[in-house]
A and B are shown apart, each in its own frame.
Chain A
Amino acid sequence: MKKFACFLIAALFALTAFATLGACGKTSVDAEEIPVDVNLDVNTSATLKMGIMDDASEKKTAQAFIDKFNETYKNIKVEIETISGDYMQAMLSRIKAKTVPDIFWVGDNNISYFAEKKLLLNLDRYIEAAQFDTSAYYTSMIKLGQKNQNGSQYMLPRDYNKVVCMYNKDLLEDAGVTKDSPLYPNDDWTYEEFLALCAHLRANLDSSVYPVDAMLAWPPVFNSFIRSFGGELMSIDGKPAFNTEEAKQGMQVMKELLDKRYTLNPINKTEDVFLAGKAAMWFTVRPSVSNCMAANLNINVASFPKVGEHAYIGAGTSGYGISRSTSHPNEAWALLSFMLSRDGQEAFSTTGNAVPVLRELASDEDAVWKTIPDSEPRFNHSAFVKYDERDTLKDYLNGVDVELYSRIDSAMLDLLDRYMGWTGSAENPDTLLPQKVKDINKILNSN
């Protein structure tokens, strides 16, 4: 009986191992090998799956694109597949299960990783064949769709998101700052003017209300502060570069915002304090407008203040890419390129939460996106598109091996934490910075 039990257990393990190994394997279709056809017949019939985040506004956006697309390609059925939970993880599970959607939403943070892992289709062949004019779009956003922001195109951006300074007009008024006051936020304000307003708000508002939620742990903000003073976190060849006077200056300026209690400690933030009426200003992007309207806040926006010598403004985007394992890359391209056409961008604009990436539409005074929020006819929409020459991107990972992205990102936050004292006392920069250079080099050498 003992022998038999052993035999049975061994058989069970063998079966398990067989099932495990059977689950492994490579994707059978490689869209790179399918001939490019950018002049698809309008009667082409196919079914595409479109992966998006499980979010009401994302569904609304995807549906707006699809409805307009189907006016031309009536026989290409596009099925929306919502992806719940951690988007990255859900995509990884789909890769394993060989159920990656044909075309899917992707944020600018994941492009290099997905490209390196051959999850996204290289779009260069399609761009060339279709003579797709990328110069019609914001250059910085197009770069965000490229591997390491300067290689092949893997994603086409759908919107243009830059950091602006949103402000609560009621709180400003409570502190005696009215439209005719020299302290009032404006698109051309300097950092000194911004600090003067913070000081005024600190002195004149309830102590529980912060002058600004500066989002110091958010890469578009901290990276732009450091770059504005001429510093950088990592060099283009992927080496730590923050141990310089310029980078220190950028970090010091952020630290002062915290030390003077102009902004809240990012580590303590568990809610959007601006939405809760606990901050008078907020460094944020266009998609936040709808949340503010839902919270019945009386808001407006101004451009990000001119910080340092270069006055950079953090910018980012999201868009769509084509799966490398799709059997319908040409149909997926038809949909993707449509999304960036004037018709597609107008359909997208009607959903209300974004600035279109197509320049002519972004700057058009009568564009639909400028009528939202329509409750405020004199809303300063221009702040969302002004000064695109000052755009700066999250570029400090470009020279780093994709396997180390999260560890380097985490190390950067640790550097800022210890420099500014988010979770303890601020450390002496003269000892902290060389130590962090050492730590990061160790991470870089570990791969």
Chain B
Amino acid sequence: MIEYYTDVYGNVRGKRKSRNPLKRIGGYFKRNWVGLLLVSPVLLGILFFTLVPMVSSLYDSFFKYDGITEHIWNNFANFTRPFTDDREEFFKAISVTFLYSIINIPLTMVLGYALALFLNQKLKGIKIIRMLYYLPVVIPTVIYGLLWRNFTNLEYGLGNQIITSLGLKPFPFFTSKNTAMATLIFLNLFGLGGNMVLWIASLNNIPKELYEAAEIEGAGWGTKTFRITIPMCSPMIFYNLIMGIIGSLQTFGNVFVMTGGTPGPKNSLLFYVMKVYYTAFSGSPEIGYASALSWILFVIIGIFTLIVFRTSKWVFYGEDA
């Protein structure tokens, strides 16, 4: 069997393939050493900072392991526990995370679109307004969380000072199970700027001729939106949807800071990753169980991503795609 390849001078060369796998690996490295050398920082980074922890956590997930003493083989107990002993808290975390995702993903996309439509006009000073809307996106999560945490403090926060100065009763924000989730979703809307920028970029890429042609044919606002704008922006919507699902299911940092590291009243903000965190990093850590929970989340995200990819026929990549 002959393997053909192009050398550094562009000449096509052929070489008989060795049956010895070690020789073949050696040959592969010899032929591609420049490329491998260039990508080696990334490859090594992925290997040691992603693959090693992943394999390590998969290994830990089959053991009763606290991070200190020896691993004790636990069979599949860590994977069945969420559906037996820990069912109540596990499904609470799942329901909180899904509720947040179901509301947050479409809401941010629709409002991002509305905001983009508003800011996509040719008005004086529009760039400054766009920048102001985008500004919260560049604030680090921890700072953002701390700011809102202080703002929403029931007793001394600026939010309630404004509300009470209007003669209204203080709003409980994160201190009531009935308002905690709504508060979180509302505060997240201040990060709409990221979504808005993508919408504006997509809107500006739609050829004007399409709208002109539609107008000549007598198309109204609804037809233009659903027959031109949305389909032409569908690759961006698809991207946002995938990233939104992954991001929402992994919600942690902002909630952790805003609630001061607590799962909110009556576990109303017990997100899945927060549960993983509490399991792994409590006073009596359970690294094995936390690893199993992480792998369950990995599978859940994988399934949802796969479903979205498999049902992505609605995405319009252009005539030639």
Contact = CB atoms under 8 A, between A and B. Distances in A.
Contacts of B282: 406-407
B284 A406 contact: yes
Interface residues of A, number: 49
Interface of B: 21, 24-25, 28, 47-48, 51-52, 54-56, 59, 66-71, 85-86, 149-150, 153-156, 175-177, 260, 265-266, 278, 281-286
Contacts of B176: 423-424
Interface stretch (A49-57, A84-92, A340-348, A357-365): A84-92
B25, B85, B154, B283, most chain A CB atoms within 10 A: B283
Contacts of B24: 4
A96 B70 contact: no
Contact of B52 (A20, A96, A119, A265): A20
Contact of B47 (A16, A86, A95): A16
A113 B283 contact: yes
Given A16-B51, A96-B67, 11 more contacts: A8-B25, A16-B47, A17-B59, A19-B48, A92-B68, A119-B68, A267-B175, A268-B155, A271-B153, A273-B155, A406-B283
Interface stretch (A151-159, A302-310, A397-405): A397-405
Given A92-B67, A278-B156, A423-B265, A407 B55 contact: no
B163 to A, nearest CB: 15
Contact of B69 (A86, A117, A208, A405): A117
A11 B278 CA distance: 35
A104 to B, nearest CB: 14
A405 B284 CA distance: 6
A409 interface: yes
A400 B274 CA distance: 25
B67 A95 contact: yes
A8 B265 CA distance: 50
Interface stretch (A21-29, A124-132, A135-143): A21-29
B154 A268 contact: yes
Contacts of B54: 16
A408 to B, nearest CB: 9
Nearest to B85: A446
B22 to A, nearest CB: 10
A13 B55 contact: yes
Contacts of B149: 270
Contacts of B68: 92, 95, 117-119
B155 A16 contact: no
Contacts of A20: 52, 55-56, 59
Nearest to B28: A4
A403 B55 contact: no
Contacts of A268: 153-155, 175
B66 A86 contact: no
Nearest to A26: B70
A191 interface: no
Contacts of B66: 117, 403
A218 interface: no
Contact of A12 (B51, B86, B281): B51
